[in-house]
Amino acid sequence: MFFRKKEDLQRLNLEVPKPAPTRPSAATATNPSHPQNIDPAKLEAVNHRAKEILDSGRIPEWLFVCVVGNGLLTFQPARDQKPVMLLFSSPFAASDYLRATRTTAAVGQLKVEKLPESAQSWLSLGLLASVVDRCPRCPQFLSIDLAGMAKWTKEDFAKVWAQLRATRSVLGEVRIRSAMNHLAAGSHAAARSDFEYVRDHFDCGIPYLHQMIGLVAGMQQDELAKANAMERLKEFGPQFEGPLDFSPQLLATATVGLMTNFGMVPRTPTQSDLGS
């Protein structure tokens, strides 16, 4: 489904958007599909990382949308429910959604400062909620009330954004640590499974993640998976194009880049760790 786009929607800028206590009622996200029994340790880690994001000022100026004809792509959870506006944190997440759902559309961007105005417009069209970075492979999703979004200040958005990004970062870190342990033990299949889970469910916008998947696929002599990783890397520009042949330097670069993105202390596995 789709709705008319706002004037502030622009065609995709191929560059990743640069990083740029609120009213509780306005900065509220609801999630009826997710269980509420959250691990206290993970919750504490998420809150700590969210504070780090807020303190760093790494809040984007743009969100991304999927453009179908003269409208924006939405998602309808069930026949008896209202459509939900799809918003994405990066062009890579938007493209992945289109790829996974086999939807033909373009990727556009929306100025964050125009979000309250846009939310009001979507409300007038009959929508009630939006979702940021909906996973196209999972039935669960985190919905954000458009009535609240229409009242957001810049600080409201920052608080919600930081919490969403911190959640994905912490959960992704758990999988990355598991993958690195599997690599150290020579369990390539288990390591690749963890890496691919992060790619498919948490964050596909990290080139080093695709490099690691391609390197492990090469170790498994899975040329198709390696080729797919190389194809995905083209989305990040010419500096990430080229062969994914194993070398200690490439492995170190991918490992450090990946772990840095998830706020981890790098540990680079050696070639002997990988059984190569």
188-208 confidence digits (pLDDT tens): 999 999 999 999 999 999 999
Residues 6+ apart with CB under 8 A from 124: none
- Number of domains into which the chain is organized: 2
Domain end residue (candidates: 114, 146, 167): 167
Which helix (H) or strand (E) is 4 found in, with range? strand 2-4
- Shared domain for 49 and 115, answered yes or no, is yes
- Shared domain for 192 and 66, answered yes or no, is no
Which helix (H) or strand (E) is 159 found in, with range? helix 154-184
Task: For 144-170, write each residue's pLDDT tens digit.
Answer: 999 999 999 999 999 999 999 999 999
Evaluate whether residue 195 is within a structural domain: yes
Evaluate whether residue 269 is within a structural domain: no
- Shared domain for 107 and 181, answered yes or no, is no
- Shared domain for 33 and 46, answered yes or no, is yes
- Shared domain for 135 and 255, answered yes or no, is no
Burial of 11 (0-12, 13-18, 19+ CB in 10 A): exposed
- Shared domain for 134 and 48, answered yes or no, is yes
- Shared domain for 173 and 143, answered yes or no, is no
- Shared domain for 73 and 194, answered yes or no, is no
- Shared domain for 206 and 249, answered yes or no, is yes
Domain end residue (candidates: 167, 184, 212): 167
Domain end residue (candidates: 146, 167, 188): 167
Evaluate whether residue 246 is within a structural domain: yes
Task: For 124-135, write each residue's pLDDT tens digit.
Answer: 999 999 999 999
Evaluate whether residue 270 is within a structural domain: no
Asked if 119 and 113 count as a contact pair (C-beta separation under 8 A), the reply is no
pLDDT of residue 263: 85
- Shared domain for 224 and 211, answered yes or no, is yes
**Global confidence as pTM:** 0.81
Check pLDDT > 60 for residue 13: no
Evaluate whether residue 272 is within a structural domain: no
Which of 43, 33, 42, 16 shows the shortest CA–CA distance to 143?
A: 33
- Shared domain for 183 and 138, answered yes or no, is no
The residue segments making up the domain with residue 231 are 169-261
Task: For 37-74, write each residue's pLDDT tens digit.
Answer: 568 889 999 999 999 999 999 899 999 999 998 899 99
